[in-house]
Structure 1
Amino acid sequence: MKKIISILMSSIIMLSMVACGKSNDTATNVDNMKWEEVLEKAKGSTVTFYGWGGDEELNAWLDDVFEPKMKEKYDIKMERVPMDIDQVLSQLSGEIQAGEEDGSIDMIWINGENFKSAKENNMLYGPFLEKLPNAEKYLDLNADENKYDFGFPTEGYEAPYGKAQLVFMHDSAVTKDVPSSTKELLEFAKANKGKITYPALPDFTGSAFVRNVIYDICGYEQFQDMKEDKETVKKAIEPALDYLVELNKYLWNEGKSFPADSTQLDNMFKDNEVVMNMTYTAYAVARGIENGSYTDSTKTFLFDKGTIGNTNYMAIAKNSGNKAGAMVAINEMISAGMQASRLEKLKTIPVVDNHKLSKEEKAEFDKVDIGKGTIPQDELLSKRLPEMPAGLVPIIEEIWLEEVVGK
């Protein structure tokens, strides 16, 4: 997800004025409703779900599985609105500034610095998480992943949607050995000169790759409570910057330019332009082999020290015209049934707490075949590294642009 902090900061004064005005009746009513009343109010309504639309398999699952279930079970129509997060929050900011109490945006797919900015600018409704029956039933509400998003307190303003973790991939028929560290990656790049690259920051995956390089070289502990100061961050990541500049010599186009986003890199990998790919979708290789976009010999790999993992979330717009419907939809999304379906169809790491599942529910997850070319979930999660605080991410992206590109 792209950052939009600069867009939002210009709206702080106006948003503060709106926040001090009259809150809409829908929010007040939902705040005081019992869950049965929320269900009744949501019945027959339409919920808009705004979020990135670049994953066609996810789009198909939302349209063909989730939407029909919502209609059948709750008489709620789901309207998926594909839009990049910067555009979503820009639209939401404009509606709030205009004083629109019956906004067009209900649910939002969000995380990281975008959530931090939206919450700080009073653009989200909440807290709502603990009002959802399935939150208590299926989630570990004391887990850091449900309490913090990129180190920023969620405070019930988000509900988990799915877990992500950066993984790398290669075609084992093309490259036999793969790097297990940044040191080995440099040698791998030398041996495959011009056939390695990563997405340009602030692409979500490209940014995660750079942070992972920083972790591998500089460690991750120091960043968990680091001051959000450019000079402080730059000094801390200097060894990683030197490494990335050295790596440029052996990259595609010698690091003078980079793929615009992870989609372009993925296409380059499929076309054999590059021999290494990366993604935040931990089981993407299995999906790709199943649909024929990757060869059967494609495999996933990690660095020995691990890779960055995070959780993505669902939030509700401050001025949503259908908060009740959004709450019902989010509650259904975190159910065991929907999370098992997402694991089976989309190979998305579930957000449910396994200890809270019934025997029957556990069986639904256990019977899912993760597919070929993947890393077992236990091993994957054992090498899961924490995200940096959200405020450090745009600073690192700015430094990368100044100190690495074209150097």
Structure 2
Amino acid sequence: MEIKRDRYLNQLVSFMWDGQVKVITGIRRCGKSYLLRTLFKKHLLSQGVAEDHILCFELDLAKDIRYRNPLELAQYVRSIVEGNDEQFYLFVDEIQMSDEVANPYNKEGKAITFYDALNDLKSLSNLDIYVTGSNSKMLSSDILTEFRGRSDEIRVHPLSFAEFYSAVGGDKADAFESYAFFGGMPLVLSRPSDAAKMNYLQSLFSEVYLKDIVERKGIKREDVLAAILDLLCSSIGSLTNPNRVAGAINTMQKRAGENLVSINTVKSYMDHLADAFLFSECKRWDVKGKSYFDYPNKYYCEDIGLRNARIGFRQQEMTHIMENIIYNELIIRGCAVDVGIVFSTEKSSTGKPTQVAREIDFIATLGGKKVYIQSAYALGTEEKSLTENKPFSLTGDSFPKIIVRHDIRKRWYDDNGILNVGIIDFLMDDTIL
């Protein structure tokens, strides 16, 4: 089964021969290697590039183990490319498997790493370089940091619903139900049964993601990391911060005195989860005040199937699941995303006027354009409809406004110019923003 990933493939094609190292980043098992070694290679071959001009190294395999030595890799590639008039492509998969080696000219000097090798090879004008990498030794974000200013990032995400549907086909409503339950990790599609899909997703946490973070970051309190993960998965789309998470853990586990989990520990562990691309933080933006609130913020899981697996496929409340899916879709489309806050003056229970904060689920900004978006499972009553529309009326501007709903199929505009669109329609239409 070939899964179309045209969004990322087109990015790779657009970056060809720009003199930069192309760094493919993203959560483990989201399809980085498949994008590079299958889809992009197929594109190059279709353009007439000779296969022996695509130099592929898979550093996690024994066949390429000698090239974990960065000096061996650089020397071998130079022996093929240097002085040749033809163009070559270098693919290095799982580059973090590369070893550090002593400088042969200065044993006491700084060790030689793959950064040195790639920066050396980058000087070859007839070589275009592409790398992927992420595991317990070095997460992808570190690779990008090391090449800052000298690299292009192609951030790969789990499958969008459109990509998922292009592979499974059939009734779109049935496909969406499956997507909302199992998510978009590519290998889920190849699992033969629902039980196998569930087991695969659960094993990703225990055998891949948590082990990566624990080993790489030297985590001492694995129980605290697991508790944070459970809390974030259980409360996607809810306002929280390290202080609240620490308080919740201490209360649930009845900790006191010296056994209290500190806010600094929680903040550090939450940063590790974000660094591993498992969660994204969405900040709150004061629409009229034009400034961010310090806290609390919202957290969304990179893949809804992973979130469901972590909590044992319980808590299948579609309101929160829809919100997470919409957030991920906006990120996949390249939007900067915030939670919008607007204020209205209303009478309190004592009759005095008071400022009430109302929330717009998402402010999506793309290419200088801004769109306000509400996620609503259903607007079955006039009261519910008024609640969802009220924040829009308080923005004081004319930016486009959209309500994404689960209870309609055909899109339509209301009397205030607000677009009501079904969730499947929204996810399948790239141009809607």
- TM-score, length-normalised on structure 1? 0.28
- TM-score, length-normalised on structure 2? 0.27
Query: Greater CA radius of gyration, 1 or 2?
Result: 2
Higher relative contact order (CA 8 A, sep 6+): 1
- Which structure shows the bigger proportion of residues in helix conformation? 1
- Which structure shows the bigger proportion of residues in strand conformation? 2
